[in-house]
Amino acid sequence: MQAPVAERRRHARRAIGLTVAAAVVALTGCGGDPVPPADAAYGVPIEINTPQGLRAKQTLDMLNSNWPIGPVSVGTLATPEKVDQITATLDRIWWDRPFTVTDVKIGAGEATVGVRTSYGVDQQIDLRTDDAGMVDRLDVALRPPKIGTWSDIDAELTKSGARYSYQFSKVAGDNARCDVVAGTNTDLSLPLASIFKLYVLLAVADAVKAGTVRWTDPLTITKEAKAVGSAGLEELPPGAEVSVRTAAQQMISASDNMATDLLIARLGPGAVERALVAAGHHDPASMTPFPTMHELFSVGWGQPDLREQWRRAVEQRSPQVRAQLLKQTNARPYEPDPQRTHTPASNYGAEWYGSAADICRVHLALQRAAVGPAAPVREILSAIPGIDLDRSKWDYIGAKGGNLPGDLTFSWYAVDHTGQPWVVSFQLNWPNYRSPTAAGWLLSIVHQAFGLVPV
């Protein structure tokens, strides 16, 4: 799932020259002393008696400062031709501060610094300095954790501080049942992020089989639909048309938000709620009425701020109040609040929710539905596998994941070389925004965990 639109636009503005002071106002709303934390807070000390050591220390000072990363500050660190690239690299991980230094290696004109994020993920920063002592190369790489047993997964996810659930299930009874092989908190209802789009795809499949929707039916792009963001369809103007098949593919493979709302509008009221019931969701009432991307983005990050009202409606389990709030959002354009685009809306219950057991059941429902005129569903799910597995061992990989501020999810329906299907899912939820580092770290765990599957 793409992040709220204002977040992506702000990154672009900063990359082309937003000043540090302006960025502080726009992103944090606070000033204060930019003096970095004391050396003791960093962990292993970084000696500054060489140019490369000095630049390594400066890099950590910037990453651990509350001043956002910008080209002005990076210009004091890097060679002019590398400022934009290094700004983008550091800005991407700055959100995971404070960083603790775990190890330092100073070489000839080079420095390697091992760091640990605020949620326990290990990374490595490699930099090189030129003859003038300025950084002309800076790379950040993940140091993947070692996963050798199922308990290692729990240890890593627990260390991250996230509320989490994961499940590896062996599919039995011709896609009728999920037999859990390993997992934790498998009945815990957590944010789904874009995994919820599987229910939209199931509603599309049901409508195609019923003859009320055809894959070739045109969908007209609107200005309102474009406001929530698009990936593969971004360049198409309002008034352009795409087919249901194209929209469904983009919704799954590119997690296209606009395509999702176009499909929900075409399906009509109640279609996704019926899909929740058909797929065996444990609590369909919790997502009734089912919010569109426009509606939930407006509640979570739009203006005016409706999050506290939404929280109360969730706590009261009042579908009437939720419906009223969603109706409000449809009466106005989606206008992101720049102060909240990195603030998790799931802290207020503004998300789509489900458990690992629900995710397994919806994957099975989709495979059962993918027959006759709905057969393209299998191809739609497998166009982007989302993970690099040994294809001599895995014949088919259908995937859907998601990512919103504080919420990170992955799921797969995978068939091994013996013909046995498996469903795998991971859901992590933090009270704070996490950078793209979190997705790479989690995928490194998942990749090794697939090796534990008893194929």
pLDDT in tens, 3-31: 564 444 444 333 323 222 222 222 222 33
**What is the average pLDDT across 101-108?**
97
Q: What are phi and psi of 374, to 5 degrees?
A: -95, 10
Instruction: Measure the CA–CA gap between 52 and 129, rounded to whole angstroms.
Output: 6
CA 238 from centre of chain: 27
Boundaries of CATH 3.10.450.280 in the chain? 5-142
Boundaries of CATH 3.40.710.10 in the chain? 150-291+352-450
Helix (H) or strand (E) holding 92: helix 83-94
Among 188, 169, 63, CA closest to 113? 63
Among 358, 374, 213, CA closest to 279? 358
**The dihedral of CA 299, 305, 308, 309: what is its sign?**
negative
DSSP string, 381-420: HHSS-SS---TTTEEEEEE--EEETTEEEEEEEEEETTS-
Instruction: Measure the CA–CA gap between 203 and 266, rounded to whole angstroms.
Output: 11
Among 128, 137, 127, CA closest to 82? 137
Q: What three-state secondary structure class fits 353?
A: strand
pLDDT at 20: 23
Q: What three-state secondary structure class fits 297?
A: helix
In our burial notation (b when 16+ CB lie closer than 10 A, e otherwise), range 115-145 reads: bbbbbbbbbbbebbbeeeebbbbbebeeebb
pLDDT band at 212 (very low <50, low <70, confident <90, very high): very high
Q: Please tell us whether the domain made up of 5-142 is placed in CATH 3.10.450.280.
A: yes
Q: What percent of the chain has pLDDT over 70?
A: 91
pLDDT at 17: 30
Instruction: Measure the CA–CA gap between 128 and 143, rounded to whole angstroms.
Output: 19
pLDDT at 8: 44
**What is the average pLDDT across 256-274?**
96
Provide the mean pLDDT of the chain: 91
In our burial notation (b when 16+ CB lie closer than 10 A, e otherwise), range 439-452 reads: bebbbbbbebbbeb
Question: pLDDT tens digits for 308-362?
Answer: 999 999 999 999 999 999 999 999 999 999 999 999 999 999 999 999 999 999 9
The residue with tokens 């590398």 is 82
pLDDT band at 1 (very low <50, low <70, confident <90, very high): low
**pLDDT greater than 70 at residue 32:** no
pLDDT at 42: 83
**What is the average pLDDT across 49-64?**
97
**pLDDT greater than 60 at residue 104:** yes
Helix (H) or strand (E) holding 324: helix 319-329
Instruction: Measure the CA–CA gap between 410 and 403, rounded to whole angstroms.
Output: 9
Class of domain 150-291+352-450: alpha beta
Instruction: Measure the CA–CA gap between 152 and 154, rounded to whole angstroms.
Output: 5
Q: What percent of the chain has pLDDT over 90?
A: 90
Does this model's pTM top 0.85? My answer is yes
Q: In 173-307, at which residue ranges do the beta strands (DSSP E only) sit? A: 177-184, 190-191, 218-220, 241-243
CA atoms within 13 A on the CB side of 214: 3
Let me know: does 252 contact 381? Beta carbons within 8 Å. Answer: yes
Token pair recorded at residue 310? 């939404």
